[in-house]
Structure 1
Amino acid sequence: MEMPAERVARSLLKVKAVFCNLEHPFTFTSGTVSPVYVDMRKVISYPGPRTEIAELSASCIKSRVGLEKVDVIAGGETAGIPYAAWVADRLNLPMIYVRKQAKGFGRNAMVEGDVQPGQRVVLVEDLVFNGQSKVKFAEGIRNTGALCEHVLAVFDYAYTGESAAILDVAGIQLHTLTNWPVLLKVAGDEGFFSPLEIETIQEFLANPRAWSQKRGGV
């Protein structure tokens, strides 16, 4: 029986949410040059993969957190909002979203929607890179008096596991549906990427800074 991580990886590859370009690498806003780019927003346009990912996300929360321990689902501005909405709908739970920066003043300056002190919130996101932005979102939720001890990300971008370590220090447990090793295996087995593309992506992920700097990035 196929594992959920492989199903999610295949869905991302089918909707072309993962781009690879060896001749003209991507330059991120940070200045990092990369042979691969992940655009999780692509999923919103495809009902089939969207439904599958939403249902697997909801199942993950039920099994790893426990539905009885969740009062509210949160999404991070902007890409996490649709994912949170799909999950909240399937779990029949209230939803809020968290801003990247506070708007106005007061304890709810970063949060839109209703959440009460003491309520248990699970943050649902499209992907996690290094975990730092998720800590900031969790802090915004905690400033309302609510609790945020779990983050669910569909895709774990970090190749070396640093995201979980950063979140753990902040008292947050990370749950993910799929990651690079699984995605690259599916991509190779099913011909989504060539052997050279996979080898190059693995080289980049093993040392992003070195790979980027060799090509004029930071």
Structure 2
Amino acid sequence: MKELYEILFLTKSIHIDTENPFTFSSGIKSPIYCDTRRLISYPKERKMIISGFLEKINDMGIESVIGVATGGISWGAWLSDKLDVPFGYVRSSHKDYGKKQSIEGNIDFSKNILVIEDVVSTGGSLGRAINLLKESSAKSLNACSIFSYQFSESIELFHKLDVPFQSLLTLEGLLEYESDKLGHNKKEIEIWKKNPGAWRSK
């Protein structure tokens, strides 16, 4: 597992700035940002990520894969190719032209579906995708991401949605396996992790 965390640093997907924090779409300020979109440009490393996914979902009996736009689309497509199952994706917003669909692809919603996201913070975009799939009569759903910040909001959300969620990599794992690379920033990240909403809120 350590090698997967090392990939994040090798591809410069981890950014740390305690003085000029990053702002998530939820409005939360953070001293650390995981940009998994960089991973798609590294063939060897992205194959390792896909192999990690395959190990994690090995016993789930996945019959279709849905990617969450935009970050989860490429990963979902690669994963569905390895599993040899149908692929589709959920748009980030409802389109106002053509067939005006939010879900693209020819998916049988009675099948066991895996929903893929790249990064999960509060879980908003993934939660929205899951709700859209449920509205389309999806019965059996599992969700997975490359990286999760493990916010309590996301844990509570997936519990409320009654959808099993797991992440290949987590902030807790990053702090454990790569503490040497985080250096003096580790302590500040740990403080932030305890209460992200209150960190630098003033």
TM > 0.5: yes
Tell me which moved more, 20-29 or 81-90: 20-29
Shift of 1:19: 0.5
**Match for residue 213 of structure 1?**
201
CA 88–116 in structure 1, closer or farther in 2 if over 3 Å, else same: same
Letter in 2 for 1:112: E
Q: CA RMSD in A?
A: 2.2
1:131 to 111, 123, 133: 123
User: Structure 1-normalised TM-score?
Assistant: 0.83
Tell whether the 8 Å contact from 2:110 to 2:140 is kept in structure 1 after alignment: no
Shift of 1:206: 1.0
**Match for residue 189 of structure 2?**
201
CA 108–145 in structure 1, closer or farther in 2 if over 3 Å, else same: farther
Tell whether the 8 Å contact from 2:67 to 2:117 is kept in structure 1 after alignment: yes
1:172 to 160, 163, 167: 163
**Match for residue 48 of structure 1?**
44
Shift of 1:35: 1.3
Greater relative contact order (CA < 8 Å, ≥ 6 in sequence): 1
User: Structure 2-normalised TM-score?
Assistant: 0.89
1:35 to 31, 38, 45: 31
Aligned residue for 1:213, secondary structure, equals coil
Matched residue count: 202
Question: How many Å separate the matches in 1 of 2:177 and 2:109?
Answer: 43
The Cα offsets for residues 147-182 of structure 1, whole Å up to 9 and x where unpaired, read as 3420011111125x4423311211200021121121
Letter in 2 for 1:13: F
Tell whether the 8 Å contact from 1:127 to 1:155 is kept in structure 2 after alignment: yes
Letter in 2 for 1:32: I
Question: How many Å separate the matches in 2 of 1:28 and 1:133?
Answer: 12
Tell whether the 8 Å contact from 1:17 to 1:38 is kept in structure 2 after alignment: yes
Amino-acid identity (%): 27
Shift of 1:74: 0.4
Tell whether the 8 Å contact from 2:90 to 2:102 is kept in structure 1 after alignment: yes
CA 153–117 in structure 1, closer or farther in 2 if over 3 Å, else same: closer
The question of 1:118 aligning with 2:114 is answered no
Aligned residue for 1:74, secondary structure, equals strand
Structure 1 gap ranges (5+)? none
CA 154–187 in structure 1, closer or farther in 2 if over 3 Å, else same: same
Letter in 2 for 1:207: N
Structure 2 gap ranges (5+)? none
Tell whether the 8 Å contact from 1:20 to 1:36 is kept in structure 2 after alignment: yes
Question: How many Å separate the matches in 1 of 2:155 and 2:192?
Answer: 20
Tell whether the 8 Å contact from 1:76 to 1:123 is kept in structure 2 after alignment: yes
CA 29–127 in structure 1, closer or farther in 2 if over 3 Å, else same: closer
Aligned residue for 1:137, secondary structure, equals helix
Tell me which moved more, 177-186 or 35-44: 177-186
The question of 1:81 aligning with 2:46 is answered no
**Match for residue 183 of structure 1?**
174
